[in-house]
Chain A
Amino acid sequence: MPDLLIELFSEEIPARMQARAREDLKKLVTDGLVGAGLTYASAGAFSTPRRLTLTVEGLTAESPTTREERKGPRTDAPEAALEGFLRSTGLTRDQLEARDDKKGQVWFATLTKPGRPAAEIVAEVLTATIRDFPWPKSMRWGAGSLRWVRPLHSIICILTDEAGANTVPLEIEGITAGNTTRGHRFMAPDEITVSSFEDYAAKLRRARVMLDSSEREAAIRQEAANLAFARGWEIVPDDGLLTEVAGLVEWPVPLMGAIEDRFLTLPPEVLQTSMKEHQKFFSARNPKTGRIEGFVTVANIETPDHGETILKGNQRVLAARLSDAAFFWDNDLRIAKTGMEDWAEGLKSVTFQSQLGSQADRIARIAALAREIAPLVGADADQAEQAAKVAKLDLRSAMVGEFPELQGTMGRYYAQAADYPAAVADAARDHYSPLGPSDDVPSAPVSVAVALADKLDTLTGFWAIGEKPTGSKDPFALRRAALGVIRLVLTNKARVNLTEIIGKGYPGADAADLLAFFHDRLKVYLRDQGTRHDIIDSVLSMPGNDDLVLLVNRATALSDVLKTEDGPNLLQGLKRASNILTQAESKDGVEYSFGADPKFAETDQERGLFAALDTAEPAIRAAVKAEDFPAAMSAMASLRAPIDAFFEAVQINTDHQIVRRNRLNLLSRIREAGRLIADFGRIEG
């Protein structure tokens, strides 16, 4: 069984596209081979900046022969019908067979498709793969019309078996597949001839190309750690950067340098961001000082001077970058120390959104809202308002202009420089959180107040101007904002009446609609946390459903009781009571809701249920009022045995109308007790 080796050798493939391209190459080629009747044992894809490689092992040498029988016209059909059949099958009349069918004699054709050699199939599949490759962005070059991510230079396509390697005949836009490639662009540029995947990988390694990106990542991680260790430093882990850097080199050579002393006073986030964004450097921290003091750059070449020239050049570029950063920092600090008035003024001319006014308008709204929210989350109203006014001023700073991802982080430094209280400065940093579903949620009251106000202003604003998310479109990240509100409220157990707060947000937002949006996001959130969707549905319509803490407490207690032994039976009893009532009510055209009287009870089980309800009802009522849902649930659960016994012994429908009505009214007491807790009808099971 032959093995297949494919290499597509091109000019430098963007690092961010390589992982996906490996997967696509593997899938498209193996799917194509299988679709054409071949099978294989295993496949693996690799990438470097200049090549995409696929190895397929244990490929069948040819596809199986297939036979297909096709039914044609009747033998007495007009000549034209037969001619058409012969044309469509590509056969002659003497190759057909006349057979008896239900309606008479019919022509049958047997089409035999002989198996095809793997090489032929590979050539077809690879040609189609190259032509239709799903690059996020592709281009043409020279005078050709082929599209690839960057100019494609050569193709290896060989099938190797015991007898040796054979090049698959294949030509695409003037590139003929062969069995040669090239090594490292500078260190081993000569042509290499390969005979199998093992041979290819080994020769590439000698030609200073590490084929496997995970091996390059590991090598970088290891060597960077070693270099840092030698200086008593540690590398700040950054997996995203590691993957990117591994996609920029074929032969990683990490080099370590120190940051000049004059830059060590810059905030560590600035050093890290500048080095990462501009230079793709890893940061090295000195655990003794806690500061970022060094960097690791990853070169793509071994040089006679052991990287000295390269490191010197990189140091120089870094110094220029950090000089810029230091210049921004010093200027920003100067403005911060005067109270950031310039920035507040400047934000008046920065549009937030054309219908929602300037950033300054928005800040004023958030400040007013933060004041309202403050007492609900235990924050000082004055401080929350002040924090909201300060929190976004860094958007005008030079540093955030250069590194937008430092918004908030710089805000905190500048607020500190302006001598604002720590709670205000922290709110500047933390009020954007949480951004993602796994982000930390702020817990400091002032930060929570501003974070909520910020997100609720955004939500009510976009709701008011009719820019709700639709389908997959959510350009203003409103789902994320709503989830942020939910997590802030739940994590901090903030008792916030959302409808009321929405009313205090941007005027004109449809509060009911926005609340429904919150409920949708809450459902998604709780489902991800493992709460059953039907349990969430059963509590969403209960009173106080705009208090998310209450809502979740209710759902949790309900979920817990349903997990106990009593739970499912209780649920059955409640549902049975409710079903019987619904049927009787629709038949009789009345609602049974009042007047059950123990004096019409005929059995002990009826009397027992009366007694149990007399105890449970006030207990449930009191517990719900006290928002003690576990207690309400356990009072509810105490009804399980009496309800079971009741249904076991008592026939509801009797000829005695008074007794029947009394029993139905008794059932309605069960229904009412249930309704205090949840809409049990929505719960499955």
Chain B
Amino acid sequence: MTSPQDNQTAKPVCFQDVILRLQSYWAAQGCAVLQPYDMEVGAGTFHPATTLRSLGARPWAAAYVQPSRRPTDGRYGENPNRLQHYYQYQVIIKPSPANLQDLYLGSLKAIGLDPMIHDVRFVEDDWESPTLGAWGLGWEVWCDGMEVSQFTYFQQVGGHDCRPVSGELTYGLERLAMYVLGVEHVMDMPFNDPASAIPMTYGDIFRQAEREYSRWNFEQADTEMLLTHFKNAEAECARILDAADTDSAGRAIPMAHPAYDQAIKASHLFNLLDARGVISVTERQAYIGRVRALAKRCADLFVTTSAATGEPLPAFPAGA
């Protein structure tokens, strides 16, 4: 048996080892280790734990893996590092602590990237998400010339100034792990310990699915249906936001989260339509604008709620 201490000093041996180390590292820094959001999203930022929780004054610290889907990036599992489904590791801390860069560098050490023998650099990269009406300043972090993370101080989300500011770290897990493990093709990367009774590579788990989704994304997805779903999600989002704040029993329950789910859904449907090549350059902006409008309204509502303000949830009226 190796002790956890040994584990931290030895290099990771597989993909999940990298993930587990990040999980325990950020848990040790006091983050709530959350689970992935149970919806299709293009990036970890879409998780309500980041988008919504970066709004308002209530302090927040969370870390999680987020499966992310980018239909246009599908390459039928053939490209060494491009996937339509991949994992991001996301850390979000509000207010951003003064030592966030040091904390981040600690996380690199935890996964076996010692900054004393590697060349770690913070290279300007301003982040913007037109669909979320969000932007921030920060860097892409380079390790030996490779981008391993995105490091952002959120300035605005959903059109609202972030006060206080959240610090957001996003690691592209496959690329990072491939580098740490010295693997050339993502599909060859050991997923669990290669010394296990049943060793599995990333390809054993995902290659077939990558092929299937690539075909569906590029050729098969029913664009009429997707368009209808987009409109439905947009309409439902607006309906939820337009609903009265109080329920049938007179209890004040504004519904920011359910509305935001519909915004996420619309965003992903837009990505699928984009992959199918049915959205022209001029229409693109219009679609992005429609999703942003939804995200903004969700943010408008969320900032008034307890999760943002830090006020206790209002008690239900007696008898309700």
Contacts and interface: CB of A to CB of B under 8 A. Distances in A.
B124 A313 contact: no
Contacts of A143: 95, 163-165
A682 to B, nearest CB: 49
Interface stretch (A10-18, A61-69, A202-210, A660-668): A10-18
Interface of B: 80-81, 95-98, 101, 115-124, 126, 136-139, 143-146, 153, 155, 162-165, 167, 179, 280-282
Contact of A314 (B96, B116, B144): B144
A313 B122 contact: no
Given A151-B153, A309-B117, A11 B124 contact: no
A281 B144 CA distance: 12
Given A248-B121, A303-B116, A150 B144 contact: no
20 contacts: A12-B121, A12-B123, A12-B139, A139-B137, A141-B96, A141-B165, A143-B163, A186-B116, A300-B121, A303-B117, A304-B116, A310-B118, A310-B119, A313-B118, A313-B143, A313-B144, A313-B179, A314-B145, A317-B145, A318-B145
Contact of B281 (A137, A304, A318, A351): A351
A150 B155 CA distance: 12
A108 B145 CA distance: 72
A248 B122 CA distance: 8
Contacts of A151: 96, 98, 153
Contacts of B115: 186, 301
7 tightest CB-CB pairs across the interface, nearest first?
A313-B144, A14-B124, A12-B122, A143-B164, A314-B145, A299-B119, A143-B95
A139 B153 contact: yes
A314 B121 CA distance: 13
Contacts of A49: 122
Given A304-B117, A323-B80, A351-B281, A310 B144 contact: yes
Interface in A1-54: 11-12, 14-16, 49
Contacts of A301: 115-116, 119
Given A14-B124, A140-B165, A317-B144, A354 B282 contact: yes
Contacts, number: 102
A299 B138 CA distance: 20
B145 A297 contact: yes
A290 interface: no
A137 B101 contact: no
A11 B137 CA distance: 12
Contacts of B126: 137
A16 B124 contact: yes
A320 B81 contact: yes
Contacts of B164: 142-144
B285 to A, nearest CB: 12
Contacts of B144: 309-310, 312-314, 316-317
Contacts of B153: 139-141, 150-151
A312 B144 CA distance: 8
A642 B273 CA distance: 85
Contacts of B95: 141-143
Interface in A346-361: 349-351, 354
- With a 10 A CB-CB cut-off, give which of B95, B144, B145, B164 has the most chain A CB atoms: B145
B123 A248 contact: yes
A305 interface: yes
Contacts of B139: 12
Given A303-B117, A351-B281, A139 B145 contact: no
Contacts of A307: 119
Given A281-B145, A299-B119, 15 more contacts: A12-B124, A12-B139, A137-B137, A138-B137, A139-B136, A141-B95, A141-B153, A141-B167, A143-B164, A144-B164, A248-B123, A301-B116, A310-B117, A313-B118, A320-B80
A141 B96 CA distance: 6
A100 B282 CA distance: 80
A153 interface: yes
A351 B155 contact: no
Interface in A287-328: 297, 299-301, 303-305, 307, 309-310, 312-314, 316-318, 320, 323
